[in-house]
């Protein structure tokens, strides 16, 4: 079983069945058994109470019904696709996030941390902030959010769990880093929240898979499940460098992936 659940369409095409077919074809070529689309929630007008800043508002151009219509049309045609969403986790907005999530028939919901207050941590326009801040404090703040994301119990899996390394900035204190990893792994385990092994980092400046092998090993030790994802933003990203993701999973002792349908998980052998 191979999954690709972290997939975006709106930045490179329209949310319609014709464009969706190009993703489905690519998934078949790459041997992906379970494909899901998980558009960024901030694109939709209905999420304006959850996350709002100038960068986001410039991109909030869609109504959720457009998204729903695509999945409804795909279902009528018998196309194999799962309906997901990637939600920016915002501390203090748990009630609003729960209202949005529960209002729609998602197969799975990804929780991701992209913002520390007004700082978009993985946006190139904000990269210089890493030069201005104490990296230990940055990592502490980031993993604080990962922990509360997990403890909220709102999400099926966390996206690119150590995306904070995207530009290659890390504290040089390994013990400190492992403390952050361990507390995140324990929080995820406490609510049966999975993580993704994501090949997206291989396309980013850091040039690495998410998560770090040490973090993945801790997740395995704590009993955290996995899915496989590419964080595709166009069809050619589907299944990108998956052999490396599978090798990483197996190196940590994983033999199964989670598969989601209507927020319910089952486990299947990886390959």
CATH number of the domain residue 260 falls in = 3.20.20.140
pLDDT at 100: 98
pLDDT at 54: 95
pLDDT at 192: 97
Helix (H, G, I), strand (E, B) or coil at 197: strand
Helix (H, G, I), strand (E, B) or coil at 30: coil
Ranges under pLDDT 50 in the chain: none
CB atoms inside a 10 Å sphere around CB 80: 12
Residue in the structure block whose two tokens are 């695509």? 70
pLDDT at 271: 73
Pairing of strands 115-116, 256-261: unpaired
Print the domain residue range for 148: 3-269
Domain tally, the chain: 1
Extract the tokens encoding 27: 């998934």
Which of 113, 122, 227, 89 minimizes the C-alpha distance to 161?
A: 113
Residues 208-236: tens digit of each pLDDT: 999 999 999 999 999 999 999 999 999 99
Residue in the structure block whose two tokens are 């969706």? 20
Q: What's the rounded Cα separation, in Å, for the pair 138 and 149?
A: 17
Extract the tokens encoding 18: 């014709």
pLDDT at 259: 98
Q: What's the rounded Cα separation, in Å, for the pair 116 and 87?
A: 15
Which of 270, 177, 212, 198 minimizes the C-alpha distance to 241?
A: 198
Report pTM. 0.97
pLDDT at 221: 98
Which of 247, 249, 248, 228 minimizes the C-alpha distance to 238?
A: 228
């Amino acid at each position: 079983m191979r999954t690709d659940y972290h997939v975006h369409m709106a930045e490179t095409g329209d949310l319609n069945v014709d464009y969706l077919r190009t993703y489905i074809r690519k998934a078949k070529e790459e041997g992906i058994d379970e494909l899901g689309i998980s558009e960024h929630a901030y694109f939709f007008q209905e999420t304006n109470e959850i996350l709002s800043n100038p960068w986001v508002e410039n991109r909030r151009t869609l109504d959720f019904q457009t998204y729903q219509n695509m999945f409804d049309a795909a279902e009528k045609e018998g196309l194999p696709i799962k309906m997901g969403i990637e939600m920016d986790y915002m501390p203090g907005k748990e009630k609003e996030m729960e209202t949005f999530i529960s209002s729609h028939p998602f197969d799975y919901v990804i929780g991701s941390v992209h913002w520390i207050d007004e700082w978009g941590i993985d946006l190139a326009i904000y990269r210089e902030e890493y030069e201005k801040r104490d990296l230990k404090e940055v990592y502490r703040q980031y993993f604080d959010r990962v922990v509360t994301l997990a403890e909220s119990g709102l999400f099926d899996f966390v996206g690119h769990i150590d995306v904070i390394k995207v530009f290659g900035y890390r504290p040089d204190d390994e013990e400190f880093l492992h403390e952050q990893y361990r507390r995140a792994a324990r929080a995820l385990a406490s609510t049966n929240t999975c993580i993704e092994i994501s090949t997206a980092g291989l396309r980013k400046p850091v040039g690495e898979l998410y998560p770090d092998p040490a973090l993945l090993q801790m997740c395995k030790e704590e009993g955290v499940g996995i899915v496989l994802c590419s964080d595709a933003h166009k069809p050619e990203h589907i299944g990108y460098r998956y052999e490396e993701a599978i090798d990483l999973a197996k190196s940590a002792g994983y033999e199964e992936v989670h598969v989601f349908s209507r927020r319910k998980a089952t486990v299947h052998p990886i390959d």
